[in-house]
Amino acid sequence: MAQESTHTLSDTLDQLEQAVQGEHITVQNVVEQLGDRSFAALMLIFSLISTSPASAIPGITAVVAGIVFILVVQMVFGRKTVWLPGFITRRRMSSAKLCKGIGWLRKPLGFVERFLKARLTFLVHRPWILLPLLLILALTLFMPFMEVIPTSGSIASAVIALFAAGLLTRDGGLVILSLILLLAVPVVVWQFGFSG
């Protein structure tokens, strides 16, 4: 089972890359490529986009926060398929910047996924999963404002990506790590963004 999850994150990047055609890609293209049941994969991809060099696209942190917020609300309420409003699914991203971001992410993801395996799997199910989901929900409400603090939005997105990776690979250890970091992010952002 651990072997099956070894390339899960890279496979998700491959799927996203396959969706890239033309000069721009829409959010709807990404959803269609990854599947409307794959909440964790969509959360991973969009949070990684906000962590990668593609985050240089103006407003991308706010858009990603909105998408993750909607995904998490649906997960909390147990919805089986993804729904996103039209004004979000029609949003376009530069294919060139997205492909650059995918290329940038491959090496660190390839390194990380070597250590991931199915463990403590009860933590990726209810009721345990609700606590990190609610913390992510709260974090996404502040992410649009993080654009004024350099790299803070990327840090928040990276923590969300860790959680999504834990869900995808059924790695409860990674879920615990993301939970600790979710609790720490507001403190770190406050210290480096507003103190001193």
**How much is the pLDDT for 193?**
57
Q: What is the pLDDT of residues 117-148, one digit of tens each?
A: 999 999 999 999 999 999 999 999 988 887 77
Identify which of 51, 32, 52 has the alpha carbon closest to the alpha carbon of residue 42: 32
Q: What is the pTM of this model?
A: 0.86
Closest CA to 128 of 164, 171, 170, 175: 175
Average pLDDT over residues 84-91: 92
**pLDDT value of position 4:** 45
* Residue pointed to by tokens 């910047």: 97
Q: What length does the chain have?
A: 196
pLDDT tens, residue by residue, 31-61: 998 887 889 999 999 998 888 776 667 778 8
* 3-state SS string for 14-78: HHHHHHCCCCEEEHHHHHHHHCCCCHHHHHHHHHHHHHCHHHHCCCHHHHHHHHHHHHHHHHHCC
pLDDT band of 69, cuts 50, 70, 90: very high
pLDDT interval class at 114 (50, 70, 90): confident
pLDDT of residue 194: 52
Task: Quote the CA–CA distance of 153 and 29 in Å, as a whole number.
Answer: 24
**Does pLDDT of 110 surpass 70?**
yes
DSSP letter assigned to residue 147: G
Residue 128, burial from CB neighbour count under 10 angstroms (0-12, 13-18, 19+): middle
pLDDT interval class at 70 (50, 70, 90): very high
Q: What distance in Å separates the CA atoms of residue 89 and residue 24, rounded to the nearest whole number? A: 13
